[in-house]
């Protein structure tokens, strides 16, 4: 992904991002699936923006936590600088969840705008000290379609 600024986080940064994802999941509006998800995005100025899943009585309209977080970031005027993402499903127990396919594509939009390849922290749902699986977005979404394809 175009000379992306792949990086690793300090332990403190990682903990802050994971804690923010858990906190976001507490606000999940998931009455239909009863599967609260939280996501937290870390930007290169140190800002952390969060999202939770937002469901709807028309089930198919559900928004994933990562998608909500990206929408918030774009609405704030961010166009890149995405360094890392943490995602957690509170009901996932000791199993870290990974972003769904649609969310990988949505995350890629911000990543591509800033030519970063964000670290994705897939966090187990059983507490802040649980398992964390790490991957970069380009491995979760190889050969991504992005804004450059339309240029
Ligand atoms: N969900 C997310 O928020 N992110 C994902 O990456 C996977 C799924 C939400 C959507 C729905 O509200 C609930 O989890 C169950 O699928």
Determine what percent of the chain is predicted with pLDDT higher than 90: 95
Distance 7 CA to ligand 1 centre (A): 26
Please work out, in degrees rounded to the nearest 5, the angle formed at the alpha carbon of residue 29 by the alpha carbons of 119 and 69: 30
What does the pLDDT read at residue 8? Answer: 85
State whether the beta carbon of 53 lies less than 6 angstroms from ligand 1.
Answer: yes
Q: Are 84 and 118 in contact (CB under 8 A)?
A: yes
Q: What values do phi and psi take at 131, rounded to 5?
A: -65, 145
* Mean pLDDT score across all residues of the chain: 95
Judge whether residue 60 has pLDDT over 70: yes
For a pocket test of ligand 1, which of 26, 62, 103 has the largest count of ligand atoms closer than 8 A to its C-beta? 62
Cα 80 to chain centroid distance, Å, stands at 14
Judge whether residue 4 has pLDDT over 50: no
Distance 41 CA to ligand 1 centre (A): 16
- Per-residue pLDDT tens over the stretch 68-101: 999 999 999 999 999 999 999 999 999 999 999 9
Domains and CATH numbers, the chain: 4-97+110-140 (3.40.140.10)
- Per-residue pLDDT tens over the stretch 112-138: 999 999 999 999 999 999 999 999 999
Q: Are 41 and 73 in contact (CB under 8 A)?
A: yes
Distance 37 CA to ligand 1 centre (A): 6
What does the pLDDT read at residue 6? Answer: 54
Q: Are 59 and 32 in contact (CB under 8 A)?
A: yes
């Amino acid at each position: 992904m175009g000379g992306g600024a792949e990086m690793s986080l300090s332990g403190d940064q990682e903990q802050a991002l994971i804690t923010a994802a858990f906190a976001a999941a507490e606000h999940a509006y998931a009455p239909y699936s009863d599967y609260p998800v939280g996501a937290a995005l870390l930007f290169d100025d140190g800002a952390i923006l969060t999202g939770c899943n937002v469901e709807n009585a028309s089930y198919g309209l559900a928004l994933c936590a990562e998608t909500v977080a990206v929408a918030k970031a774009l609405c704030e005027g961010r166009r890149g600088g995405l360094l890392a993402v943490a995602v957690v499903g509170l009901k996932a127990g000791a199993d870290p969840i990974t972003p769904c396919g649609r969310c990988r594509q949505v995350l890629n939009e911000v990543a591509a705008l800033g030519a970063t390849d964000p670290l994705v922290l897939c966090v187990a749902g059983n507490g802040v000290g649980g398992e964390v699986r790490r991957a970069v977005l380009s491995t979760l979404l190889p050969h991504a379609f992005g804004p450059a394809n339309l240029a």
